[in-house]
Amino acid sequence: MSDLETGQNPIGPTASISEMGSVDWETLVDHRTCVQQNEDLASVQEKFRQADVSFMAVLDRKRVIGLCARHEIAMRLGSQYGFSLFGRTPVRDHLVAQPLLINVKQVWSDVLQRVFSRSGESFNQDVLLVDDRCAFLGLISVQTLVRLQTRLLMQSIAELEQKQAEICRRNQQLTEDLRMAREVQLAMLPRTVPTIPPEAAPDVSAVRVFSHYAPLGLVSGDFFDVFAISDTAIAVFIADVMGHGVQAALVMAMMRALIQNHRVAAAEPGRLLTALNRDFCDMLKGSSLSTFASAFSLVIDIGAGEFRYANAGHPCPIHLCRQTGHAAHLDCVQSSNGGVLGVRPDVVYHTGSAELKAQDAVVLFTDGLFEVRGEDDLLGPERLLALVASTMKQSGQVLIRDLVSGVQGFSPQGQFEDDVCLVTVEIGEVAPEGLYRPLA
């Protein structure tokens, strides 16, 4: 009787399916009934009757030469004149065709593959177990091997369920960690924006800022910041770190810390980007990260009546001149686009400028806003420009809502394919005394 029938485990109490290379095949032996090759069929038939087995090993001394089957010998001797013709012939002349021999050191996967690839009558034959010298060790029935396969399968299922439970647990923990990271990231975004004059309420500020922030996943590499640099000037900074997810979010957090360190340079956007790039490159040099970021720095200077800006490989914002009804990209060429941040530490970014007029607006965004696939191609910067121009009469959150809705309408799925960060800056009316007041 094999160990599978007695409840013992031939694969060991601690071995997992993935770690187990072999089975203790000798513990699976059902019987060791054998005959020598010169024994005649009559005596072999008698041994079958006494042993009550279906197959016996045929040996040359200790070495296995084949397998004989009860039913084949019974048919041979039971036929008319069969006993007279074959009763005294040696059993070596009546072996089954292509018996299956397995070495005691063979791995279980190879053995089971060979056993269960058999077909016809050979499928039910006992398997001969031998050592390296082909010495007989025993016979294993196909029923025992089926039980082994079932036990291995059940153990494999149990291991997979255990691993799946562990993966689910880790995924749940990861999701919780990402949710917390999302809360931290959202907390890094501006909750309030400065006003001009500083004591003014947001709804009567000469400059008003509105935003839409939509990560593709729980966390994002998109980022923006808004802060005052004087009583009459506000800085807006927008950036997009390469990639998605946790790495991009971590780099974004690094970028925010660098901006805090260089706020003193924010009045001159080119100077700010130059300092950020130098420190960002130094920071990446000391890590294993391989990344970069695009960025755009904008100053709205009410006192000087101008926009000042610099670009580091970022999509060029759109300037809305409501007095003339004209919409166009800011002239990023004059700001000497020196490429993205984090690649070359010696890049010097220059500051460009444009006249600031009453009722003007500037729309800043990351590339996720226009990298939306329609039926045939991407939305692209030019279609986005036309879409922004069509919303020129809107203002505040209504403008942002209509713009986001228009972009989503371009996609058959009605959704974005990347992180999206959208910031609009609106300038108020000019009062007779030369001060600015917000749009009604």
Q: Answer for the pair 367, 381: CB distance below 8 angstroms, yes or no.
A: no
Q: Answer for the pair 169, 177: CB distance below 8 angstroms, yes or no.
A: no
The pLDDT of residue 5 is 46
Least trusted range by pLDDT, from 96-100, 213-217, 275-279, 338-342: 213-217
What does the pLDDT look like over 351-401, one tens digit per residue? 999 999 999 999 999 999 998 888 888 889 999 999 999 998 888 899 999
The pLDDT of residue 9 is 47
What one-character DSSP code corresponds to residue 92?
G
pTM over 0.75: no
Q: What is the CATH number of domain 3-158?
A: 3.10.580.10
Least trusted range by pLDDT, from 71-75, 142-146, 217-221, 365-369: 217-221
Q: Coil, strand or helix: which one is 321?
A: strand
More confident residue, 7 or 425: 425
Residue 435 has pLDDT above 50, yes or no: no
What does the pLDDT look like over 296-335, one tens digit per residue? 999 999 999 999 999 999 999 999 999 999 999 998 876 6
Sorted by where each begins, the domain ranges of the chain are: 3-158, 193-437
What does the pLDDT look like over 419-434, one tens digit per residue? 899 999 999 864 434 4
Region for residue 339 given its phi and psi (left: phi exceeds 0; alpha: psi -120 to 50; beta: otherwise): left
- Residue 299 forms beta bridges with which residues? 235, 308
Q: Coil, strand or helix: which one is 182?
A: helix
Q: Answer for the pair 94, 72: CB distance below 8 angstroms, yes or no.
A: yes
The pLDDT of residue 287 is 74
Extract the tokens encoding 260: 């805090």
In the chain, the percentage of residues whose pLDDT exceeds 90 is: 57
d(CA 35, CA 91): 8
Q: How many angstroms separate the Cα of 343 from the Cα of each of 253, 274, 277, 282, 339?
A: 18, 12, 8, 10, 8
How much is the mean pLDDT over the chain? 87
d(CA 311, CA 318): 13
Residue 65 has pLDDT above 50, yes or no: yes
What one-character DSSP code corresponds to residue 40?
B
Give 240-298 as a DSSP string: EESS-HHHHHHHHHHHHHHHHHTGGGTTSHHHHHHHHHHHHHHHHHTSS----EEEEEE
Q: Which fold has domain 193-437?
A: Phosphatase 2c; domain 1 (3.60.40)
Give 122-142 as a DSSP string: GGGSPEEEE-TT-BEEEEE-H
Expressed in percent and rounded to 5, the helix, strand and coil fractions of the chain are 40, 25, 40
Residue 94: which of 43, 131, 50, 143 has the closest Cα? 43
The pLDDT of residue 257 is 87
Residue 234 has pLDDT above 50, yes or no: yes
Residue 391: which of 429, 422, 435, 349 has the closest Cα? 422
- End-to-end Cα distance, the chain: 94
What does the pLDDT look like over 18-60, one tens digit per residue? 555 568 999 999 999 999 999 999 999 999 999 989 999 999 9
Residue 141 has pLDDT above 70, yes or no: yes
Whose tokens are 């562990």? That residue is 166
**Residues 254-260: what's their mean pLDDT?**
87
What does the pLDDT look like over 170-229, one tens digit per residue? 888 877 777 777 777 677 778 889 999 999 888 889 999 999 998 887 777 888 999 999
Least trusted range by pLDDT, from 138-142, 271-275, 359-363, 369-373: 369-373
In the chain, the percentage of residues whose pLDDT exceeds 70 is: 91
Q: Answer for the pair 391, 212: CB distance below 8 angstroms, yes or no.
A: no
